[in-house]
Amino acid sequence: MKKDPGSTFTCPICDAIKPITEGRPAEMVGGPIGDIIRREHADWGAGHIICLSCLSRFRNKYLQEAIEAQRGELSAVEKSVLDSLAEQEVLARNINPEFERALTVGEQVADKVSSFGGSWRFIIIFGSVLVIWITVNSIFLLLRPFDPFPFILLNLVLSCLAAVQAPIIMMSQNRQEAKDRLRAEHDYQVNLKAEIEIRQLHTKIDQLMNHSWQRLLEIQRVQIDLMEELAAVKKR
**Confidence grade of residue 128 (pLDDT, cut at 50, 70, 90):** very high
- Cα 234 versus chain centre, distance: 53
Q: Tell me what the mean pLDDT of segment 189-205 comes to.
A: 69
Torsion (CA) 192, 198, 200, 205 in degrees, nearest 10 = 180
- Across-strand partners of 3? 9
**Confidence grade of residue 210 (pLDDT, cut at 50, 70, 90):** low
Q: Tell me what the mean pLDDT of segment 111-129 comes to.
A: 87
CA angle 137, 138, 141 (to 5 degrees): 95
pLDDT for 5: 45
Distance CA 97, CA 94 (A): 7
Among 75-79, 99-103, 149-153, the minimum mean pLDDT is found in 75-79
Collect all residues with Cβ–Cβ distance below 8 Å to 220 and sequence separation of at least 6: none
Q: How much is the pTM?
A: 0.42
pLDDT for 75: 45
